[in-house]
Amino acid sequence: MTHHEAHRASNWDEILSPDTAHTYETPMRKDAFALSDDQKVSLIAEKFTEIMEILGLDLTDDSLSGTPERVAKMYVHEAFSGLNPANFPDVKLFDNKYGYRQMLLEKNITVHSHCEHHFVPIIGKCHVAYIPNNKVVGLSKLNRIVRHFSKRPQVQERLTEQIAQALMEALQTKDVAVFIEADHMCVLTRGVEDHGSSTTTQSLHGAFAQGDERREFMDAIKSC
Ligand SMILES: [Zn+2]
């Protein structure tokens, strides 16, 4: 084995090691919520004013003067509101009185997120399925859970996992499937500027991990 090959082999050991730490949590500071939302808005507005000034923009222009505060509010109250666990939707479960034990699929849930590497939009759709246990959930809650995790700086892989994990917890079942197809503005509009490409990710658990249910889910979303 050449030195080069040996080096590559040891890299593979590292990559394939089951000990490699992994987490689907968004990396957050311990003091993430020491500031109130209002404090965050005013601090971000200050910093964004600086960014615009450094770019050479004249903030006395009436079209630009409100931008820093507009961006700050958008970050805190909309685009990144899902960072705060306090904003996680209230998920109410109902008894599965009708004994429904088949796949329930919620298709084409809108995904509006932001890429954490460039802070530009990720726009796509999410398909979510589960097989109810003794409890069922109000359908709009599935959309709300997808929305919650979308409202963070994200990578699509982590977003997919976070939605799946939250659904398994909320619905009290492992039989959960999540599939996302999305366009990343950082790929479409900058860098390689590839307008034709999109990205799909999936997180399949329990009965959906293999066999008939997996096929059933994949077939059902094929036409979307
Ligand atoms: Zn990006």
Q: Residue 184 catalytic?
A: yes
Question: What CATH number does the domain containing 192 carry?
Answer: 3.30.1130.10
What is the pLDDT, as a whole number, of residue 20? 58
Residue 28 — very low, low, confident or very high, per pLDDT cuts 50/70/90?
very high
Asked if residue 99 and residue 210 are part of one domain, the reply reads: yes
**Does one domain contain both 53 and 120?**
no
Q: 111 with 215, same domain?
A: yes
Domain boundary among 66, 86, 106: 86
Active-site residue flag, 186? yes
* Same domain membership, residue 69 and residue 141: no
Percent of the chain past pLDDT 90, that is, above it, reads 83
What is the percent of the chain where pLDDT is above 70? Answer: 91
> For this structure, is 114 an active site residue?
no
Per-residue pLDDT of 197-217, as tens digits, reads: 899 999 999 999 998 999 999
What's CA 93's distance to the chain center, in Å? 23
- Quote the pTM value: 0.89
Residue 75's CATH number = 1.10.286.10
Report the 3 state secondary structure along 108-146.
EEEEEEEECCCCCEEEEEEEEEECCCCEEECHHHHHHHH
**Domain shared by 79 and 126, yes or no:** no
Ligand 1 centroid distance, CA of 41 (Å): 24
Ligand 1 centroid–CA 118 distance in Å is: 4
Number of domains in the chain: 2
Q: Which residues contact 178 (CB under 8 A, 6 or more apart)?
A: 126, 127, 128, 160, 163, 164, 167, 202, 203, 204
pLDDT, averaged across the chain: 92
Q: Over the stretch 161-183, which tens digit does the pLDDT of each residue have? A: 999 999 999 999 999 999 999 99
| Residue 71 CA, ligand 1 centroid: distance in Å | 19
* Residue 44 shares a structural domain with residue 117: no
Residue finishing a domain among 86, 119, 148:
86
Same structural domain for residues 108 and 195? yes
Last residue of a domain, one of 86, 113, 134: 86
| Domain ranges, residue 172 | 92-222
One domain for residues 109 and 62: no
* Predicted confidence (pLDDT) at residue 92 exceeds the cutoff of 60: yes
Annotated active-site residue 116? The verdict is yes
